[in-house]
Amino acid sequence: MFIDSHCHLDKLDVSHYTNGLDELIDTTFKAGITEMLCIGVDTEQFPQMLKQVSAYDFIHVSAGIHPLGVKDGSDFTLLAQQAAMEKVIAVGETGLDYHYKPATKVAQLDSFLHHMQIADQVQKPLIVHSRSARQDTVDLLRTNANLEVGGVIHCFTEDQDMANKCLDLGFYISISGIATFRNAESLREVIKHLPLDRILIETDAPYLAPVPHRGKQNEPLFVPHVAQLIADLKGVTLEHVAKVTSENFHRLFNLKQSEK
């Protein structure tokens, strides 16, 4: 049984499924992906996302404003209300992305701080996006995040030093399909040295489909490919990776192991 710890179900093109998103979810669950975390990236889009998955108790949601979507006037009061909802188990996707939008650095920093305050307020872990912002990400987490509540660095693509710093802060590290790409050898070396009890697996669907589906729309159905890569790198069974990463997910997000 696998858990996709980070996906965007509301962004998926489900036109190839006769019954749309419901059929995709049913197919995914029957294939052994027994829980998913659907990620909020915008307070305005959140209600529709929540409506789409509210009928499924094995689909959790987060509430956040993506760093690439931060703008003047972002409603953090509304975000705090959304984050406090029962079905919401995490705050984010938040963080810093200086690669695509360095010009919005100040606004991103402010948003990241607001997310950390909200996470502390509602006592729910952070989901952190970090690209071309290693030092600022670590520094802000170290000085402002509630490290007892913690969080996860999603879609990790950084080096061993960054991994060690995040682990030292008590954060988990989530591995995506990027690790299966031919040019991701340095990332695979990092994965070899990560403690398995601090790893989550994700698709980031509909983005970043793993090999052998690269170039296609990603789906939660593909998360076992990420788990298999980790199993190969660690020299353990696929079943062991599935079990441990699921336990990690439940531990981080304070969920019962039997919850479906």
Indicate whether 212 belongs to any domain.
yes
Indicate whether 257 belongs to any domain.
no
User: How many structural domains comprise the chain?
Assistant: 1
Q: What is residue 260's predicted lDDT score, i.e. its pLDDT?
A: 43
Indicate whether 125 belongs to any domain.
yes
Do 93 and 41 contact (CB within 8 A), yes or no? Answer: yes
Look up the CATH number of the domain holding residue 194: 3.20.20.140
Indicate whether 259 belongs to any domain.
no
- Domain of residue 63: give its range: 2-252
Average pLDDT of the chain to the nearest whole number: 97
Q: What is residue 259's predicted lDDT score, i.e. its pLDDT?
A: 44
> Over pLDDT 90: what percentage of the chain?
97
Indicate whether 183 belongs to any domain.
yes
Burial class (CB in 10 A: 0-12, 13-18, 19+), 250: middle
Burial class (CB in 10 A: 0-12, 13-18, 19+), 105: middle
Cα separation, 239 vs 237, whole angstroms:
5
Indicate whether 260 belongs to any domain.
no
Q: What is residue 225's predicted lDDT score, i.e. its pLDDT?
A: 99
Mean pLDDT of 240-246: 99
67-121: per-residue pLDDT in tens? 999 988 899 999 999 999 999 999 999 999 999 999 999 999 999 999 999 999 9
Indicate whether 146 belongs to any domain.
yes
Question: Would you report the helix, strand and coil content of the chain in percent, each value rounded to 5?
Answer: 45, 15, 35
Indicate whether 258 belongs to any domain.
no
